[in-house]
Structures are given as C-alpha cells and as structure tokens.
Structure 1
Amino acid sequence: MSPKTLKSGAILIADAHCAPWRTHFLEFLHALDSGEIVTPQLILMGDVFDMLYGPITRTYRYNTEGIELINRLSSKLEIIYLEGNHDFLLEKVFPNIHVFTRQQQPLVLEYEGKKVALSHGDSAMGMGYEIYTALIRSPLVLGILRAIDTIGGGFIVSWLERQMKRKSHCRTIEHFESLIEKRLNRLSLDSIDILIEGHFHQNCAFDFPRFHYINVGAFACNERYFTVQSMQNKPLVYEAVFRKEPL
C-alpha cells in the first residue's frame, strides 16, 4: 500500500551520492540501525547512490553495504525511495520499501492538513533531458550496455566511476529562484501546499504564488539531512548535520 502521510519526525535525505570514495551516508545508516538516530519514516529523495542502476548488477558491488543496510532498516521503519537520475529501476533491489519512479513523482503526502509534494527534482528539464532520461531507463538500452560492459571487462562502469569522482556537488546555481519558477510553471502542481525537491543541491526555500518551495541541501555537502517538525509558525523541515566538521 502506498504511503499517504508524512510522519512527524520523518527524516529526508537527498543527494548523498554514496560511493566507495564517499561513505558518510553509510555511517548515517549505521547510526539509524544502532538506534543512535531515531525516526519513524526515512525518505530517500534520489541520487542517494552515485551509481546504482537496477539492471546493471555490476553497480551493486559499489553499493553492497548500503543496499544491505537499507533492506535491514526496512524491517524497523517505513522507508520511501524517490528514484533519482543516479539511482533508478530499484524495485527489485529494495523489495520491502516504497520505491517511486520518476514518472510516479511527485509523491503527495498529507501533513497537518497540508498537501506536501516530494520529488527528486529532475522533472520538466527540457526535451533533450527527457530523451536522455528515457534512454538510460530503457531495459533494452541497459541490456545492451550491460552486455558491452561485461564483454569489455567493465570499462563502461569504470569510465562512469572516473566521471563521478571528478564531479563537484556543492556549487551555487546563479538566479536559482527564477530558473525554478520557470521550470515549475510547466508542471501541474496547483493542488499542493508545499513542494520539496532535491537534485539541485541548493538548500534554500521560496514562496511562489501557488505553493511554498523547498530545495533541500545535498547530504554529500556537509552531511545535511532534514527532519519534519510541527508547522505551527515554523518551517516544515529542520536542517541537521550528521557530522559537525565540514567535508
């Protein structure tokens, strides 16, 4: 059954980009598993892993510990996974959690009489991106790439790894508010009160005429995560930092 409610005390994490060269998210999962951090609901908002593609089993070896921890945690708390552009086709990887594909987002949940929409954030990005994202999720395309990668000794995944290591996740996007407003005008979001997204790593919020917008910061940048709190004269989400020293 699909979740209907955003729970008080829920934790939201976006863009951890977990990988063998970036393991702080694994430490966070261990803190949840040990009870050091407690939450009734964990919402993973996409790009949690730097490379995790359901049909490409070679990407599992980068993420075995994280996959096992999330599956173990699913027996203790409700976990919602909004697939991103770095982690998708995950239903079989995480059989006991709620996985929402890009097409199923935003996920709209009720909280204190408000409708809160949750999305990874890579929607309405233009025709070129739509074609790209459809291709990379195609079972046929992924099957061909998997075969080529296997025959070539894993050179495709190795090339992707090198690209991911070079990528910076902590840059500021200029004129972000106006860019987001133009993008969201192309979406039908009139029946919601709050929209929360990741993907852009900006850690900011705006009031638009139709709803309040929150772009949560990336866990990959200073290990930010966000806790849902009562909205009485306060923001919906409270920012916390898992580890106090900067990355």
Structure 2
Amino acid sequence: MILLISDLHLEEERPDISRAFLHFLQTRASQAEALYILGDFFEVWIGDDAISPFQRSVAQALRQLSDAGTRIFLMHGNRDFLLGRAFCREAGCTLLNDPSRVELAGEQVLLMHGDSLCTQDEAYMRLRRWLRNPLSLFILRHLPLATRHKLARKLRKESRSQTAMKASAIVDVTPSEVPRVMAAQGVRTLIHGHTHRPAEHALQVAGQPARRIVLGDWDKQGWALQIDGQGWTLAPFPLA
C-alpha cells in the first residue's frame, strides 16, 4: 500500500489536525510501504534552525514511522519551501524535487505540489520565482529569526487577502499547462495538491487518455490517496 497526502498546514493553532495526523501515522501509514507528503505539510516554515517544540514532535513521529519500515517522501509547498535536509534527517524522510517522476504500482507518475501549474496568477508566479531563486533562499535562511518571523506573517497575510480577491480560475491550475508539463515528463498520471479541490480529472496528453488526481487539504476532514491491490482510491476521512 502507498499513501499520498498534502496540504495539512500543520500548526499549533489546529491541534485537531495534528492529532488526526498522528493517528493517521499510527494506523494507516504504519501499514504502508511508502508515504508521500506533497507540500504545505506545515502552515509556515522559516528554517530548520527555527524548529519549534511542536514541529520537533512531528519530526519525531515521522522518525518512528520511518524506523518501523515505512519510507517517507516530502516535497516543498508554497508555505514550507524553506524545509531543509536537517529536518528530513531528523524526521527520517527523503526530500523530493518539485516536480518528481516516480514509479507507483508499476506506472511512471508525476508528483508536484501544484502551485507552479497556476500560471494565470502572474503576480504569484513572479513571487515564486524570486522566493525559489537559490540566492534568495540563501539570503532568507541567513536572515535573523525575528526578521524571518515578521516576513512570514506578512506573506501569509498578503496571500490570504490576495487569494480572496482573485477569480477562482486564476488560483486554480491553468488547463493548458497540465498536459504540457505531463507531455514533457512523459507521464499519463499527475498527482498534486495546493488547490484544495480534491478530484480526479480525465484529459488527453499527446493524443492519449491521461488523468490528473488532486489531493485534498486537511481542514474540516482529512484526505488521502491510497494505492493498493484494490486500485487507486482518493477519499476523505473524519479528523475526529
């Protein structure tokens, strides 16, 4: 069994999500061969050197799962792109590039967080290019902690206000970008998160049938894509 999740946005202010995630690790994930977390695992991450006791407890829970034999893969999201290798070493997980092509159930599948597919949101794409630039990342990681906290609060506030004002189509993936990326990567299945719009979409890539599976966010309920002998099942579950 393989499990894929995304957009938990873990933070101390949502203990219900944290408890549900720990339960998920101890139950379903403990039976899995691999767990993939496709970004926005944490609501905010300002650097591995600023890890909080809450975040460390999450790392320890992941390490327990890893030590028990489940392989864990973690991808950056737009909220936690400063997650680094120090956290991954502590948590016993492998950091994946975005995008990454992996084999799942004998099929080559493209994994992404999903924000890079939202090309119609030009303001966000400009900000993303700046934030992900290696020089910008170096500067951000070496800013004083107080400055990073202040910048994170500012970016979160601006993101929420701007998203609320943008048209729904702008903050969703660009329809033409999906087959373009899939064709370039040579895959017929794409799995991503980010948009908080869980669904499976049928499409055509290079004249062949293909699919895009969108993972759901953990808020009023949790979401997971399970791949096992019964097939591929994307389904919600209660947080309680």
TM bin, normalised by shorter chain, reads 0.7 to 0.9
Aligned equivalents of 2:16, 2:159: Cα separation in 1: 16
Q: Does 1:99 align with 2:95?
A: yes
Distance 1:240 1:173, change over 3 A: same
Q: 1:108 to 1:128 in 2, by over 3 A?
A: farther
User: Would the aligned equivalents of 2:118 and 2:174 in 1 still touch at CA under 8 Å?
Assistant: no
Q: Could you tell me how far apart the structure 1 residues matched to 2:159 and 2:187 are?
A: 35
Distance 1:168 1:20 in 2: 23
Which of 47, 56, 62 lines up with 2:40 in the alignment? 47
1: distance between equivalents of 2:114 and 2:141?
27
User: Which deviates more, 151-160 or 189-198?
Assistant: 151-160
| 1:84 positional shift | 1.2
Report if aligned partners of 2:2, 2:226 keep a CA contact under 8 Å in 1. Answer: yes
Alpha-carbon deviation of 1:26?
2.5
Q: Which residue of 2 aligns with 1:28?
A: 20
Does residue 187 (structure 1) correspond to residue 186 (structure 2)? The answer is no
Residue from 114, 120, 128 that aligns with 1:121: 114
SS in 1 for 2:60: helix
AA in 2 matched with 1:41: A
Structure 2: which 5+ runs fail to align? none
**Amino acid paired to 2:2:** A
Trace 1:51-90 onto structure 2 (pairs within 5 A).
51-54=44-47, 57-58=49-50, 60=52, 63-76=55-68, 77-88=70-81, 89-90=83-84
Deviation of residue 153 (structure 1)? 9.3
Q: How many residues align?
A: 226
- Given that 2:179 and 2:204 are in contact with CA atoms closer than 8 Å, whether structure 1 keeps it comes out as no
SS at match of 1:44: strand
**How far apart are 1:54 and its partner, in Å?**
3.6
TM-score relative to the length of structure 2: 0.75
Greater alpha carbon shift after TM alignment, 113-122 vs 137-146: 137-146
Structure 1 or 2: larger helix share? 2
Taking every aligned residue pair, what percent have the same amino acid on both sides? 19
Contact 2:140 2:148 in 1 (8 A): no
Q: What is the alpha-carbon distance in structure 1 between the residues aligned to residue 113 and residue 146 of structure 2?
A: 33
Give the Cα–Cα distance (whole angstroms) in 2 for the partners of residues 161 and 121 of structure 1: 18
What secondary structure, in the 3-state scheme, does the structure 2 residue paired with 1:17 have?
A: coil
- Matched with 1:3 is none
Counterpart of 2:212, as a letter, is Y
- 2:103 corresponds, among 102, 105, 109, to 109
- Which of 179, 196, 200 in structure 1 is aligned with 2:195? 200
